Amino acid sequence: MDNKSIRLKDIARILNVAESTVSRALRDHPRISAKMKAQVQRLAKELDYTPNQIALNLQNRHMNAIGVVVPKLSYYLYGRAISGMEEIAEKAGYNIIICQSNENAEREKAIVQELMGTRIAGFIISLSSSTVDFEHFAKIKRRNIPLVFFNRECEDIHTDRVIIDNFGVAKQAVEHLIQQGSQRIAYFGGPANVQISNRRLEGYTAALQKHGFPIQSSYIMHSEFNPECAQQCARQLLQQPNRPDAILVFSDQFAYTLYITARELGLHLPRDLSLIGFNNEPASALLSPALSSIAQPMYEMGRTAAELLFQQILHRGSYYRSQTKILQSRLILRGSTK
């Protein structure tokens, strides 16, 4: 018999037992005797039996894997967060299926639909920058599939989420720029529909209003997540007649673009321009002067998101109260600020 065609019923026939007995023995069920387990497992090994994963998924209602959907794996935050998720998933005996939407809402929807078809145990998702329709998330909830949002969330869907205090830490950063003597402070954000970028903008605005600074629309810039747009926006911001003397930047990646553009325009950091980024990427400390940045608890964000998801999996089918975990960030001051 071809090893690839070995099925549960073949092992059951050889041992003259029921298929259910073989299935339970392979799953180490407590109702099956140690002797029978040993016989079944020994024969399965001799015959090179491979379980039918699809059948197991149907039997268990879900596979032992969780789907993680992120905007881009190249973003430093997501690599670190996924490492945290893997730590928790491995302890729980689960695998992770990692997908990237590439900041594309349609691709995000297609990924969610496909993973639902595999009977995935649950989802951990950070939204793409172009996602404005949330029906695919509502569909996950209607099917009672565990779902956790992290970093970029969807406020329209009631479920667990893991975020940082984007408003508070942005406000803190701008107040630092004010205290160091900056007078013309700008905000360089991500796309206008990205929720965490807008929360940071709100923190920026609140700090200026608190200290009596005017809100100038020319000092608020939104860039798409591509180098060409970022470069164009950086030049537009820095070539104003009354250019900013300090900028809070949505990410270190955008801050690098501003850093290079400032130097090309003959500006000196921090004498002419102070910069504070987000994410505290490793390269930020290697620049000269080094980039001040906001360090987010990326690994802990991933661990916490996975812990919440497994709580949902454990309570699936029973009452579960959704939670929002707000993790704290730190302002790391370096040479790019005075």
* Confidence band of 315 (pLDDT split at 50, 70, 90): confident
Identical fold, 63-163+298-327 and 166-297: yes
Q: Where are the domains of the chain?
A: 3-51, 63-163+298-327, 166-297
pLDDT reported for residue 52: 60
What are the pLDDT digits (tens) for 243-260?
999 999 999 999 999 999
In words, the CATH class of domain 3-51 is: mainly alpha
Q: Which residues contact 289 (CB under 8 A, 6 or more apart)?
A: 269, 270, 334, 335, 336
Give pTM, 2 decimals. Answer: 0.81
Host H or E run for residue 277:
strand 274-278
Determine the pLDDT at residue 285.
Answer: 96
Percentage of the chain beyond pLDDT 70 is 95
Rounded Cα distance between 46 and 42, Å, is 6
Query: Would you state the CATH architecture of domain 63-163+298-327?
Result: 3-Layer(aba) Sandwich (3.40)
Structure tokens at 138: 């509502």
Structure confidence at residue 62 (pLDDT):
63
Per-residue model confidence (pLDDT) at position 209: 98
CATH architecture of 166-297: 3-Layer(aba) Sandwich (3.40)
pLDDT tens-place string over residues 276-286: 999 999 999 99
Q: At 57, is the pLDDT very low, low, confident or very high (cuts 50, 70, 90)?
A: very low
At a CB cut-off of 8 Å and minimum separation 6, what does 316 contact?
Answer: 144, 146
3-state secondary structure of 81: helix
Enclosing H/E stretch for 180: none
Q: Which residue has the higher pLDDT, 164 or 317?
A: 164
Is pLDDT of 168 > 80? yes
Q: What is the mean pLDDT of residues 280-309?
A: 97
Query: Half-sphere exposure of 21 toward its Cβ, with a 13 Å CA cutoff?
Result: 18
Q: Which residues of 292-316 are buried (b: 16+ CB within 10 A; e: fewer)?
A: bbbbbbbbbbbbbbbbbbbbbbeee
pLDDT at site 61: 58
- pLDDT exceeds cutoff 60 at 2: no
- pLDDT tier, 64 (very low <50, low <70, confident <90, very high otherwise): confident
**Quick one: CA dihedral 90, 94, 95, 100, positive or negative?**
negative
Reported as a pLDDT band with limits 50, 70 and 90, residue 20 is confident
Q: What is the pLDDT of residues 88-122, one digit of tens each?
A: 999 998 999 999 999 999 999 999 999 998 889 99
Q: How are strands ordered across the β-sheet holding 330-332?
A: 220-222, 185-189, 246-249, 274-278, 292-295, 330-332
